[in-house]
Structure 1
Amino acid sequence: MTPRTAVVRRPRNRKAQIATTAAELFCSRGYHNVGVDDIADHVGITGPAIYRHFRNKQAILDHAVGELCDSFTLAIRRADDAESPSAALDTAVRELARQAVQRRSLGRLYQWEGRHLAEPDRVRVTEQMDQGVRRLRDLLLEVRPELNRSDAGYLTTAALSVLASPATHRARLATGRAEDVVHGIAREVLALRDLPPAATAEAVRERSAGPMMPRRERLLAEAVRLFHLHGYHGVSVDDIGAAAGINASSVYRHFAGKADLLAAVFYRAAERLSVATADALGAAGDAEAALRALIAAYVRLILDQSDMAAVYVSENTNLPAADRHRLRGTQRRHVDTWVRLAGECRVPESPTRVRFRVHAALNVVTDIARGHRGRADVPRAGHLVTSILFGGGP
């Protein structure tokens, strides 16, 4: 009797599997560093099989970001059946916390890789996300009518930064506990009182690399500015040299290439952070004073160097592997300092829960710097971070 040949059937969810796998690769490696064959290898299919579902890599990104934004919208719509504004707000925040933890590897997709969307898709998903943010803000205003719209929007945006923070680190808690921690911190932010008055808006301070600045410093300054505006892959060595008033051949006297320039930007950021941290902790007499000094120094540095902070977060996947590994160790030691100090100030909490808090606070500062380029409000941001780490105002 001739044996029957097994029939291999294509999974019904193959398109979703491709999109999810691609999204995870885009987040871990960067959009430009992932090819269709890479996606196919991770899914376990051939490259041409991808094209049965998507016409190209751009279409995969568009689909993945759109699906993530739809999940965000659905989470907020779950609040519509709640019995009160307070219950509605809590339902939405809890659902967003669940998504943030369970889809942790995709958390950076919209924030950092969404810039590679085709223009019509970028406009559409931005408006969709903005609508969701406005809905959360309006729910908060119903719960806390004493707030004005501006303050409610500020707290809502900060709470969303908290909810997005699990994507920025690898600390581990059981899924349910992680959801509870992230949900709890976000609710603390939404309940924050005594928010300092918003400072009068200042003009955006454009940082120019003047002709008296040494050539290497001019190149670094312009690299930061251009990487932030256009992304690493949207900038050439010629672009950086021209912006600094230096011809391309002269650039290579200072840097081996664009990757070397990017690494130098990261090392410069790490150096400034190290100096600011040492200065802040040098005069502190105990853990509480040290943590408060560190918060003040960090917030001021990040908001004052907002372009560099944005590049540091968004372009790390484009670093040479050796530099990325070395800088990741430096960053880990910096976070460990925060965790140690915050742990001494929050003794009842486990070290892992404290680490979740620290990463939530750091992500809030980065997002404020990115969203309020050149005119972020240092006292307000400091108040937020202090609240997250101490559980109350300054």
Structure 2
Amino acid sequence: MTSRTPADAAAQHARIRPSDRREIVLRTASDVFGTRGYAATRLTDIAEEVGISAPALYRHFSNKYDLFAAAVDRLSEGVDAAVSGVAHRDDPREELRAVLAAFADTVMEHRSSGNLYRWERRVLHDADRTRTRDVRVALHRRLRSLIEAARPNLPRPLTDLLAVATLSVAASPATHRIAMGRRAATELVSTAAVTLLDVDFPDSPPTADRPPGLAPAGRRESILAAAVTLFAQRGFHEVTVEDIGAAVGLPASGVYRHFESKVAILAAALWRTADRATDAVAVALSQAQTPREALVSLTARYSELCVDDPDIMAIYLSGTGALDDGDLHALRRQQRTTVDEWATWVVRARPECSNAAARYLVHASLNLASDLVTGRPGVDAPTVAAASAAILLGDGAHGR
């Protein structure tokens, strides 16, 4: 029997190389980037997922940035094609539902990579950012025009807010992995998003500019507060321990006296947020008498947390990929416990909801609250709470 030489093996590999190798690389890269974030992903990680060598990957993309930009383009093109295919309808509410369903269906198709939008604005170069921003802006304007047609008396700030909120709800399946059929999930989140048209928003007093409050006096707390601000502004991987120290008047060695690493600072900040969210559940439930009141109270408390510290919410959305596996898994377990508690009260308030559907709605509500406070200064907690509660309750009659 004749033995195969390395040349024979290489020739066979060339013969069986799939014709769509570039698409396979791109699809895999989208999933890995969406799960871990740009900075935490290595090209070797993607090559291993595809089952090829790093040099083979370089035949298709010259570097990590080119691959990331192509992945974002691919996602944007998919969204644009899906939404553009939705025809105009006489009823703006029905057209809004159809647009959001098309968007949600695309999210379900690319569920693992749907979180790319969390990183794209910071990572992409201007020319690449412009392309994906054009798709996002066009979608936002279409949603806003439909919301204005359905609720013509709403002020422009609220229609803009509702456009962001409806899109956040439709995108929420990308933030979790709860099992549900694609069609059922698309119907669930698009219907929930349209519910926001009925929210009776509370009258919010005009917000006055307030001077910044006092900074913590203790060194550890000062370091933690400065790090959260820097991580939110520039991204975890772009901030050094020296940067954090300089913000509080310490050398790097002074920071290391309180935290063993930059990752330890991030973990401490995220654990504090997770603990506050858990503690808020008990407080919220103690103020409620019925399942419906429980959900209103839960969303009110959570919205206050988000509005009070939007920086930590931004980090929680996009910075967990930098954590050690142990902290990451433990944080996710605690988040699941919180989500399950909320979902229990959704089912009690709405017995027609399955447990899976209730958990979907909880994630949609949490995602909405986080998205509304990150990058939107001035939004108030009662407004966020009214929108968040509407997703859980299926109506908007609790805002006043």
Normalization by structure 1: what TM-score?
A: 0.92
Query: Which residue of 159, 168, 173 maps to 1:166?
Result: 173
CA distance in 1, matches of 2:155, 2:200: 13
| Bigger relative contact order, structure 1 or 2 (CA pairs below 8 A, ≥6 apart) | 2
| 2:350 paired residue number | 346
Is 1:223 the counterpart of 2:230 in the alignment?
Answer: no
- CA change 1:208–1:223 in 2 (3 A) is farther
Question: What is the letter of the counterpart of residue 293 of structure 1?
Answer: S
The Cα of 1:128 is off from its aligned counterpart by 2.8
Q: 2:279 aligns with which of 262, 275, 278?
A: 275
Runs of 5+ unmatched residues, structure 2? none
Which of these residues, 320, 329, 333, is aligned with residue 329 of structure 1? 333
C-alpha distance in structure 2 between counterparts of 1:84 and 1:327, whole Å: 43
Amino acid paired to 2:215: A
- Give runs of aligned pairs for residues 199-210 of structure 1, distance below 5 A: 199-203=205-209, 206=212, 209=215
Structure 1 stretches (4+) deviating beyond 6 angstroms? 2-5
Corresponding residue number in structure 2 for 1:55 = 62
Q: Name the amino acid aligned to 1:94.
A: A
Q: TM-score, normalised by structure 2?
A: 0.90
Q: Unpaired segments of 5 or more residues in structure 1? A: none
Distance in 2, Cα, partners of 1:313 & 1:208 = 26
Amino acid of the residue matched to residue 308 of structure 1? I
Residues 1:386 and 2:389 are matched in the alignment: yes
Paired position in structure 1 for 2:247: 243
Question: More displaced, 241-250 or 225-234?
Answer: 241-250
> Is 1:76 aligned to residue 80 of structure 2?
no
Answer yes or no: is the 8 Å Cα contact 1:209–1:222 preserved in 2.
no
| Cα gap change, 1:118 to 1:205, in 2 (>3 Å) | farther
Equivalenced residue count is 389
The Cα RMSD (Å) is: 2.3
Distance 1:357 1:57 in 2: 35
Q: Say whether 1:101 aligns with 2:108.
A: yes
Q: Is the 8 A contact 1:62 1:121 kept in 2?
A: yes
Distance in 2, matches of 1:197 and 1:125, equals 35
Tell me how far apart the structure 2 counterparts of residues 76 and 204 of structure 1 sit (CA, whole Å).
41
Query: Would you say 1:31 and 2:43 are equivalent positions?
Result: no
Which residue number corresponds to residue 98 of structure 2?
A: 91
Distance in 2 (CA, whole Å) between partners of 1:385 and 1:282 is 19
Structure 1 residues 341 and 88: alpha-carbon distance in aligned structure 2, compared to 1, 3 A threshold: closer
Equivalent residues of 1:20, 1:64 under 8 A apart: yes
- Asked whether the 8 Å contact 2:169–2:365 carries over to 1, the reply is yes
CA distance in 2: counterparts of 1:207 and 1:225, whole angstroms: 14
**2:110 is aligned with what amino acid?**
R
Pick aligned residue for 1:252 from 239, 249, 256: 256
Partner Cα separation in structure 2 for residue 224 and residue 52 of structure 1: 39
Q: Distance in 1 between matches of 2:115 and 2:238?
A: 19
Q: Which residue of 1 aligns with 2:51?
A: 44
Deviation at residue 176 of structure 1 after TM alignment: 1.5
- How much identity, in percent, do the aligned residues show? 37
Question: Which residue, out of 46, 68, 72, partners 1:65?
Answer: 72
Q: Residues 361 and 16 of structure 1: is their aligned pair in 2 closer, same or farther, counting only changes over 3 Å?
A: same
Deviates most, 382-391 or 214-223: 382-391
